[in-house]
């Protein structure tokens, strides 16, 4: 388990759930539902408070939903840089793909040179469907 900040059992539960879903973003409601399924009683306010504190401590990443009405969280991975690349987020399953590709530096430079704009990638998200959800949607049609 990761360290950082004041440790409580509730915080440990939340980190465990985030760690078990490392490639997906989760909302406070998702975490509340996971805990309820395990008969662990934590109120939703405690979950929000812990998530916000962990975001300030740079333990979790915060992502807005595509419509901006919800916030999703993801546990940061050790040794991974988040500030210098874009993120792709599936609007169906919540999966986040870190677009940490070689072309990112040239893309950032292009935006600066051709559009006179300094891009901050750390909180930048492009929304769409991941391969798995797109294939499942195609089967529905």
Q: Residues of the chain with pLDDT > 90: what percent?
A: 35
CATH 3.30.1490.190 residue ranges of the chain are: 81-141
Per-residue model confidence (pLDDT) at position 2: 45
> Residue 125: which of 94, 97, 86, 92 has the closest Cα?
86
Superfamily of domain 81-141 in the CATH hierarchy: Ferric-uptake regulator, C-terminal dimerisarion domain (3.30.1490.190)
Higher pLDDT, 74 or 38: 38
The boundaries of every CATH 1.10.10.10 domain in the chain are 1-77
Burial of 16 (0-12, 13-18, 19+ CB in 10 A): middle
Does the domain at residues 1-77 carry the CATH identifier 1.25.40.10?
no
pLDDT tens digits, one per residue of 72-108:
888 887 555 555 677 788 888 877 777 777 777 788 8
Q: What is the pLDDT of residue 16?
A: 95
Q: Taking residues 19-25, what's their average pLDDT?
A: 84
If one counts every other C-beta atom within 10 angstroms of the C-beta of residue 75, the result is 21
């Amino acid at each position: 388990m990761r360290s950082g900040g004041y440790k409580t059992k509730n915080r440990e539960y939340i980190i465990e759930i985030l760690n078990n879903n490392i490639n997906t973003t989760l909302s406070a409601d998702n975490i509340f539902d996971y805990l309820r399924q395990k008969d662990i009683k934590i109120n939703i306010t405690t979950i929000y408070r812990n998530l916000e504190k962990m975001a300030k401590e740079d333990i979790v990443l915060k992502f807005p939903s595509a419509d901006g009405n919800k916030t999703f969280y993801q546990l940061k991975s050790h040794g991974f840089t988040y500030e210098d690349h874009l993120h792709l987020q599936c609007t169906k399953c919540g999966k986040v793909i870190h677009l940490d590709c070689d072309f990112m530096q040239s893309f950032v430079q292009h935006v600066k040179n051709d559009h006179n704009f300094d891009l901050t990638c750390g909180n930048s998200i492009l929304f769409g469907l991941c391969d798995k959800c797109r294939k499942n949607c195609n089967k529905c049609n």
